[in-house]
Amino acid sequence: MTAAPRTYWLEHAWLGAHVEPGVAVDVKDGRITAVRPDTPAPPPGAEVLRGLTLPGLANAHSHAFHRALRSTVQVGSGTFWTWRETMYATAERLTPDTYHALARAVYAEMALAGVTAVGEFHYVHHAPGGTPYTDPNAMGEALVEAAADAGIRITLLDTAYLSSGFGQPPTTHQLRFSDGDADAWAARCSLLAEREHARIGAAIHSVRAVPADQLATVARWAGERRAPLHVHLSEQTAENDACREVHGCTPAQLLALHGVLGPRTTGVHNTHLTAEDISLIGGSGTGTCMCPTTERDLADGIGPAGALQNEGSPLSLGSDSHAVVDLLEEARAMELNERLRSRTRGHWTAAALLRAASADGHAALGWDGIGTIEAGARADLVTLALDSVRTAGPPPRLGAETAVFAATAADVRHTVVAGRHVVRDGAHTLVPDVPGALARAVEALRA
């Protein structure tokens, strides 16, 4: 995955606090060895990145197969729970081969959007009916291979999904997801190996999908490996109500009781929280991954991102169901949602929103040293055009504001991962026809 030594010349570079014109970046063994501002022209032999270059973006929450649902779930009306039935029908048709093809195309779409690392919240483990494949991790391995083929990093968040609700066995559709119990889940995912482009983490699907007396097993597995641990948390009020009825507490309180919360843990959505929940999450250093385009698509609600961050919860962003794949839109939506809720403007600076989309997202996925353009950092870069119909006009010094509040994924011109050009001039270098690959992969699931 790592490219040969080279120099990139950045026409404009966002260096965390400001935009600097004319920056040369030297790269060796996949890391930045030097950053040289005040370089008004490209050095001889340098690769030129015209526009605004940012650190690579992190998509901290993905369900790759949900990409096949795009548009088809927009017919008619309903709720999260009716949407879920359509999702189950798609999951039922996945095989290791069709999942690889779909995920490769989805991850290539992410690279075109400037994403250099994805957190794949993976729970389709077994064949229909729950029978393990000959390789019990065939589905997870398909995702890891797909990320390599698309040229991006992956943290495979292998997910424990053991029940359909509090005290309820898995439904027919959910048999594919379940290992039976948390010990069997741990034994299976212990067979997964990390590699240069891939980290292995853990996930608790939700408090309704993992019995309370097995939550600690998953947390312990992640803790022993110092691996990231993610969990869908309070996405729906129905889950909160059921948890109170069975356990007499909220989902966040239940996770705290069983040792799940902490600095390596990220709660995904964190939508319907009490003031005590917010204090528990923030006080424990547990992160929050907001997925605004999915949360609004599923009519979930607006989570208290600002209050969570104020209490100490680091924020990251994800595209979740891939209604769109655009981390800039996720960053923009988090701020605009807060404006709608509060009827005031300016809750996060553009720089803070870009950090959520980059450095803090990579950290939530267990990747160190990504999210800054500085010596020693991993050489993951994304360049946005400053001359499109969306971005033309503002001065380059307002590049961060332009990126967050005007640009879209369509403005990505270059994506560099570990020093290697994965997207060049808007074209993927490893997957030549990404739209065609997506169309063929989705059609294969409908056949």
Residues designated catalytic: 269, 320
Residue 7's DSSP bridge partners are 26
Residue 421 neighbours by CB distance under 10 Å: 18
Provide long-range contacts, Cβ within 8 A and 24+ apart, for 329-335.
329/292, 329/293, 329/408, 329/409, 330/290, 330/291, 330/292, 330/293, 330/357, 331/356, 331/357, 331/404, 332/404, 332/405, 333/292, 333/293, 333/296, 334/290, 334/292, 334/305, 335/404
Closest to 218 in 3D by CA, of 162, 177, 170, 137: 162
Is 247 exposed, middle or buried, given 0-12, 13-18 or 19+ CB atoms closer than 10 A?
middle
| Angle (nearest 5°) at CA 322 between 349 and 389 | 55
Q: What CA–CA distance (Å, rounded) separates 229 from 158?
A: 9
Q: What CA–CA distance (Å, rounded) separates 419 from 58?
A: 16
What is each CA distance from 13 to 158, 249, 403, 409, in whole angstroms? 35, 48, 12, 18
Ranges of beta strands (E only) in 228-300 are 229-233, 265-269, 287-290
Helix axes 96-112, 138-150, angle to 10 degrees: 30
